[in-house]
Amino acid sequence: MTDSTPIFELRGVSFGYPGRANILNELDFALPRGARVGIIGPNGAGKTTMAHILMGLVKPTSGRILFRGKAVESEDGFVALRKAVGLLFQNAEDQLIFPTVIEDVAFGPLNAGKSASEAKDIALRTLASLGLSGFEHRVTHKLSGGEKKLVSLASVLAMDPEALFLDEPTNALDVDTRERLVSILNGLDKALIIISHDWDFLARTTHDIYAMRNGRVTFDGETHAHQHIHAHVHGTTPHTHGE
Ligand SMILES: Nc1ncnc2c1ncn2[C@@H]1O[C@H](COP(=O)(O)OP(=O)(O)OP(=O)(O)O)[C@@H](O)[C@H]1O
């Protein structure tokens, strides 16, 4: 692997759910090291499915997944990929499976072979880095939606992945929690790939925008130069960031 080898690649990936037409058609996508990428596309376009195929949770009908330049051909390969690329699920409930916060956040490090005390230390440090000190003994299912999202993120960051894949992270977040997420993500030295309908969020956290259409992902431009519409001082007038 060289510095220019992407962290992961999807090559010629096609997929359709049983009995339905293909939603991914010969899709190609690569995430370079250190890249910060947004993915947009209409509801039902297949963005979440693409994320799940990458992580080995759904098997493509055809095509290949490469991790650090090598084809992933076994569950062990996907285990290694999932350590390096942390997926933040669209629904925090899919991520948080234990009764308490500390158990959820320590699970990844424990599973990766850390001792119980090392895993606990990592979990406490990760929670503190997200402003969640004191949350460790909270009951997970009693947290608010925004708190669950941040604890989910802590459980992913505790694995210290090289890249984060976030699936619609701002859904149902209030303004303050969304702002917190922007500043957390901008403080991370990691590659990012973010699926979102939230233009303003993508403009503030990513550099390149890709669009999913007709089962493929294509480069749509740099975020700062992208014309778009969102709730903003510009109202609904299309504008360029930096204006
Ligand atoms: N397990 C499943 N079985 C059958 N169809 C499914 C399944 N999961 C998703 N789909 C369908 O596949 C299509 C793509 O879904 P997917 O969640 O990947 O889209 P998306 O681009 O992430 O959409 P959104 O922006 O609404 O989250 C949708 O029509 C969805 O209903």
Would you give per-residue pLDDT tens digits along the chain (243 residues)?
Answer: 667 899 999 999 999 999 999 999 999 999 999 999 999 999 999 999 999 999 999 999 999 999 999 999 999 999 999 999 999 999 999 999 999 999 999 999 999 999 999 999 999 999 999 999 999 999 999 999 999 999 999 999 999 999 999 999 999 899 999 999 999 999 999 999 999 999 999 999 999 999 999 999 999 888 876 655 555 545 555 656 544
Q: What does the pLDDT read at residue 222?
A: 84
> Could you tell me if the CB of 17 is within 6 A of ligand 1?
yes
For the chain, list the domains and their CATH numbers: 8-99+159-219 (3.40.50.300)
Ligand 1 mutation target, pool 13, 24, 47, most atoms within 8 A of CB:
47
Strands 85-88 and 163-167, by their bridges, are: parallel
Residues in CB range of 9: below 8 A, 6 or more apart: 28, 29, 30, 31, 64, 65, 66
Q: What does the pLDDT read at residue 176?
A: 93
> Could you tell me if the CB of 206 is within 6 A of ligand 1?
no
**Closest residue to atom 13 of ligand 1, CA basis:** 44
ipTM, two decimals: 0.96
Strands 163-167 and 191-195, by their bridges, are: parallel
> Could you tell me if the CB of 205 is within 6 A of ligand 1?
no
The owner of tokens 């693409």 is: 50
Q: What does the pLDDT read at residue 243?
A: 40
CA of 23 to the centre of ligand 1 (A): 9
> Could you tell me if the CB of 19 is within 6 A of ligand 1?
no
pLDDT for 130-173, tens place per residue? 999 999 999 999 999 999 999 999 999 999 999 999 999 999 89
**Beta-bridge partner residues of 139:** 100
Q: What does the pLDDT read at residue 210?
A: 96
152 burial (CB, 10 Å; 0-12 / 13-18 / 19+) is buried
Ligand 1: nearest atom to the Cα of 51: 18
Ligand 1 mutation target, pool 14, 15, 24, 48, most atoms within 8 A of CB:
48
**Closest residue to atom 4 of ligand 1, CA basis:** 17
CA of 50 to the centre of ligand 1 (A): 10
CA of 13 to the centre of ligand 1 (A): 16
> Could you tell me if the CB of 49 is within 6 A of ligand 1?
yes
Q: What does the pLDDT read at residue 2?
A: 66
> Could you tell me if the CB of 95 is within 6 A of ligand 1?
no
> Could you tell me if the CB of 24 is within 6 A of ligand 1?
no
